[in-house]
């Protein structure tokens, strides 16, 4: 029997700024009507600011309402961003990672199912320059990959490993080269079957060597600029369902009924970012 994992990403939840509410509710209703064995969020769980304790608590409460077990990994909005150009000048720090772990329990995970090892890793930490934390994470990841004991391997992180190719220059759209190169070495060494990420609010799936690199779309709001984008993805609200069995994995892109292809561009143009815009509560009075 297949083991179903539903990947959601870039949820951007906030009590004060409920712009993601309609699409989160559509996503939650879909999950209630379509059983999953595990739900994985690949980061950017909160809307804009890694230092808002109340927003983290609000997001955790929304996840505790989900109808299946879940795991999460952090995005740049959750723990700060990596090089070369941290979003809103908020770099990833040890204290921000600690705050994330206090709320969510961990910044990584390992789940073994029949025929597979599922690994969630902290893509923001890799290549960040936080040497001690990064080294410990990389050692943990190498150990978990080596310990797969013949299982196929699927990995879940936030930022794409790269956008166009393995030799991409440094960009905020993907992992920094130092972290990317380390991760690609591990992926190739252990013949990882699937790497599923988020961050770009796009859907795309491509095979590089023997690995499928898949981008999950957002459950919140699409990036401005039309459906197709320069990264070769498709901009839409959605999620990805994976069915894992001993023979392999299949996946499908889903747009939940009732989801709206909304964008927050007018807000960010007027206020620089959502955090500086007037409150738009999740539950308006």
Model confidence pLDDT, tens digit, residues 42-59? 999 999 899 999 999 999
Q: Residues 169-178: pLDDT tens digits?
A: 999 999 999 9
Q: Is the pTM of this model over 0.85?
A: yes
Residue 178: which of 231, 135, 230 has the closest Cα? 135
CB 10 within 8 A of CB 75: yes
Domains, the chain, ranges and CATH?
3-276 (3.60.21.10)
Q: Residue 254's closest CA among 36, 21, 71?
A: 36
Radius of gyration, alpha carbons of the chain:
18
Could you tell me the two tokens for 61? 């409460």
Q: Which residue in the block uniquely carries the two structure tokens 């070495």?
A: 185
Q: Cβ-count burial of 146 within 10 angstroms (0-12 exposed, 13-18 middle, 19+ buried)?
A: exposed
Please give the torsion angle defined by the CA atoms of residues 129, 53, 40 and 125, in that order, rounded to the nearest 10 degrees. 0
In angstroms, the CA 22 to CA 27 distance is 9
Query: What's the pLDDT score for residue 48?
Result: 87
Segment (H or E) for 5: strand 3-8
Per-residue tens of pLDDT for the chain, all 285 residues: 899 999 999 999 998 888 889 999 999 999 999 999 999 999 999 998 999 999 999 999 999 999 999 999 999 999 999 999 998 899 999 999 999 999 999 999 999 999 999 999 999 999 999 999 999 999 999 999 999 999 999 999 999 999 999 999 999 999 999 999 999 999 999 999 999 999 999 999 999 999 999 999 999 998 776 656 778 899 899 999 999 999 999 999 999 999 998 887 777 777 777 777 777 777 754
- In whole angstroms, give the CA distance from residue 224 to residue 242: 28
DSSP state letter for 194: E
């Amino acid at each position: 029997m297949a083991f179903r994992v539903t990947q959601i990403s870039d949820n951007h939840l906030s009590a004060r700024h409920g712009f993601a509410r309609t699409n989160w509710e559509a996503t939650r209703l879909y999950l209630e009507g379509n059983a999953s064995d595990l739900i994985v969020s690949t980061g950017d769980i909160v809307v804009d600011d890694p230092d808002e304790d109340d927003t983290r608590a609000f997001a955790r409460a929304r996840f505790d309402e989900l109808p299946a077990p879940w795991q999460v990994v952090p995005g740049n909005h959750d723990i700060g961003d990596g090089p070369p150009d941290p979003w809103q000048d908020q770099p990833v720090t040890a204290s921000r990672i600690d705050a994330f772990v206090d709320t969510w329990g961990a910044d990584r995970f390992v789940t073994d199912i029949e025929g597979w090892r599922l690994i969630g890793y902290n893509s923001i930490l890799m290549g960040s320059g936080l040497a001690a934390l990064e080294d410990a994470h990389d050692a943990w990841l190498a150990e978990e990959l080596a310990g797969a004991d013949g299982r196929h391997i699927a990995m879940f992180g936030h930022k794409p490993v790269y956008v166009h190719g393995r030799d991409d220059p440094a960009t905020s759209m993907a992992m920094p080269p130092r972290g990317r190169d380390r991760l690609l070495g591990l992926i190739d060494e252990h013949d990882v079957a699937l790497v599923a990420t988020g961050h770009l609010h796009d859907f795309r799936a491509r095979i590089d060597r023997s690995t499928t690199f898949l981008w999950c779309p957002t459950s919140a709001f699409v990036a401005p600029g039309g459906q197709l984008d320069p990264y070769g993805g498709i901009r839409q609200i959605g999620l990805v369902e994976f069915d894992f069995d001993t023979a392999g994995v299949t996946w499908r892109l889903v747009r939940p009924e009732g989801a709206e292809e909304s964008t927050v561009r007018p807000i960010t143009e007027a206020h620089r970012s959502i955090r500086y815009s007037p409150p738009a509560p999740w539950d308006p009075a």
